[in-house]
Amino acid sequence: MWEDKETTAPIPSVAPDEEQSSALARTDSITDIEEPHKRFGKIQAMTMPELMETRFRVRPAVIDGLLPVGTYLLAGAPKIGKSFLVLQMAYQVSMGAPFLGFSSRQGTVLYLALEDTCERLQKRLAQMTEQDSEHLILSVFSETLDEGLTERLSDFWSEHTDTVLIIIDTLQRVRGRTPDNGSYAADYDTLARLKEFSDTYGVTVLVVHHTRKEGAEDVFNMISGTNGLMGAADGALLLHKDKRTASDAVLEVVGRDQPQLRLHLRFAAAHLCWELLEAETERYREPPCPLLKVLSRLVNEENPSWNGTATELAQCLSKMDSSQSFTPNWIVRTLNARQDTLLRKYDIHYVAHRTKEGKSLSLRWDGVR
C-alpha cells in the first residue's frame, strides 16, 4: 500500500496543524508560516526548527528505485528504441506491473506520442500485450508550451486526479520555436515550465529527447542542447548502444533523489519490449531506522491505530525497547523526514495535527487484511 489514501489535490506540502488550501500552489511550498514578517514577496522564509517540524505530503516514486516524482529526461539516438521503452513504461505503470524488474505505482498515465500515429500505436500495443489498460490514455497531438500545454495538462489532471505519469515524446514537438532556442536560458526555461507543473500536481513528467552524434566522456553530456536541460530537470535516463543494429543497450540513470544506475537491457522484438539483463550498479538501500522498526511493532494488523502526543509516543516506545533513546523532538523530526519509508515499508500512515492541548500524532496501519 504505497499511496497516501487521503484526497489528493494540487496543493502545497501540509503542515501538521493546518487545513489544506484549495489554491493552486507548489507541493513543496511552505504552508504553516503565516506571519507577515516571514514573507518577502515570493520568498517564504522559515527557520530550521520550523522546517523540521513540518510534515510534507508523501510523494511515492512512480517506479521504485528508478523514477521518483519529478521532471526527467529520457534521451537517446534517433530510432534506438526510446519510444518502445516509454510505451512499455506507460502501459506497465498504468497496470501497476513491474517495469524492468522495478515495482511501479499504478495510476493513470498520459502518453503524448507526438511523433507517432494512432495506427502505429495500435499495432505496437497489439504486439506488446493482449490485455487493455483503461488507465493508459494516449494522444498524438498536443499544444506547445507557448500555446498553453501546461494549462491543458492541468485540465487533464482535473479530470484524472489519479494521474501519476505524463510522457512527452518528444521535447522538440512541444518547445516551439523562439529566437533564443539553443541558449542555456531557453533550455532551462523549457524544462522549468514542465517542472513547475510536476511540482504543483505531484505528477512525474518524462520528456523524451535526442542525443548528439559526437560522444562524450560523461554520457549525459551527449544530450542534445545545453546544460540548461539537465540543470532544470530532476534527473535523466540515457539509452545507448555500441552498435545501432544491436539488440542490447544500456540505460544510464541519474537523479537528485537516487544514486546512479546502469541497466543492461535487451530488446525482445517478438513483443516489442525491453528486458533487464543486469543491473550493474547495486540498487540503493535506505539505511535502517530504529524508530520505524519499533513503530511497526506498535501499529500493525493486530493493533491498526495509535493516537497521542509525541511525549506519550516516546514513553510508549521506551517501554517497548529500553535499549533505544526516544525523545519527542527526535520522533517528530524522524517521522516528518521518513514518513514515506514508514508508509512504503510498513504500511503505516502518519498524520500530525495541532489541538488545544498541543500537537497530536496519529498512526494508522493501511495494510491489506
Measured distance CA(318)–CA(308) in Å, rounded: 15
Whether 90 is in a domain gets the answer yes
Domain end position, chosen among 256, 279, 302: 279
Residue 288 binned pLDDT confidence (cut-offs 50, 70, 90): confident
Exposed e or buried b per residue across 259-271, where buried means at least 16 C-beta atoms within 10 angstroms of its C-beta: eebebebebeeee
**DSSP label of 3:** S
Residue 28 binned pLDDT confidence (cut-offs 50, 70, 90): very low
Phi, psi of 118 (to 5 degrees): -60, -35
Write the DSSP string, 116-185. S-HHHHHHHHHHH-SS--TTEEEES----TTTTHHHHHHHHHHH-TTEEEEEEE-HHHHH---TTTTSHH
- Residue 293 belongs to domain spanning: 289-365
Whether 2 is in a domain gets the answer no
Indicate whether 182 pLDDT > 80. Answer: no
What was the pLDDT predicted at 18? 37
Exposed e or buried b per residue across 161-179, where buried means at least 16 C-beta atoms within 10 angstroms of its C-beta: eebbbbbbbbbbbbbeeee
Task: Look up the CATH number of the domain holding residue 248.
Answer: 3.40.50.300
Indicate whether 8 pLDDT > 70. Answer: no
Indicate whether 257 pLDDT > 90. Answer: no
Whether 20 is in a domain gets the answer no
Over residues 132-141, the mean pLDDT reads 98
Q: Is the peptide bond before 117 cis (omega within 30 degrees of 0)?
A: no
Indicate whether 364 pLDDT > 50. Answer: yes
Reference 23, options 35, 34, 33, 9; nearest CA is 9
Total structural domains in the chain? 2
**DSSP label of 63:** B
Indicate whether 21 pLDDT > 50. Answer: no
Residues 206 and 314 in one domain: no
Residues 323 and 274 in one domain: no
Domain end position, chosen among 279, 302, 324: 279
Over residues 45-63, the mean pLDDT reads 87
Whether 7 is in a domain gets the answer no
Over residues 176-190, the mean pLDDT reads 79
Indicate whether 181 pLDDT > 50. Answer: yes
Residues 255 and 316 in one domain: no
CA 339 to chain CA centroid, nearest Å:
15
Residues 235 and 336 in one domain: no
Residue 313 binned pLDDT confidence (cut-offs 50, 70, 90): very high
Residues 266 and 208 in one domain: yes
What was the pLDDT predicted at 7? 38
User: What proportion of the chain, given as a percentage, has pLDDT over 90?
Assistant: 62
Of 39 and 338, the structure prediction assigns the larger pLDDT to 338
Element (H, E) at 311: helix 310-320
260 contact partners, CB below 8 Å, separation of at least 6? 252, 253, 254, 281
Residues 173 and 251 in one domain: yes
Residues 206 and 112 in one domain: yes
| Grid cell for residue 231 | 540543470
Task: Look up the CATH number of the domain holding residue 317.
Answer: 1.10.10
Domain end position, chosen among 252, 279, 306: 279
Whether 356 is in a domain gets the answer yes
Residue reference for cell 537517446 = 76
Reference 163, options 129, 197, 124; nearest CA is 197
Of 257 and 297, the structure prediction assigns the larger pLDDT to 297
- What is the side-by-side order of every strand in the sheet holding 108-113? 136-139, 108-113, 163-169, 204-210, 71-76, 235-240, 248-255, 258-268, 273-279
Q: Do 165 and 93 contact (CB within 8 A), yes or no?
A: yes
Residues 192 and 333 in one domain: no
Residues 307 and 273 in one domain: no
Over residues 2-29, the mean pLDDT reads 38
Measured distance CA(239)–CA(266) in Å, rounded: 12
Residue 33 binned pLDDT confidence (cut-offs 50, 70, 90): very low
What was the pLDDT predicted at 179? 54
Residues 260 and 335 in one domain: no
Reference 234, options 272, 192, 273, 202; nearest CA is 192
Of 290 and 178, the structure prediction assigns the larger pLDDT to 290
Of 345 and 110, the structure prediction assigns the larger pLDDT to 110
Whether 3 is in a domain gets the answer no
pTM: 0.77
Whether 60 is in a domain gets the answer no
Residues 265 and 327 in one domain: no
Residues 345 and 206 in one domain: no
Whether 116 is in a domain gets the answer yes
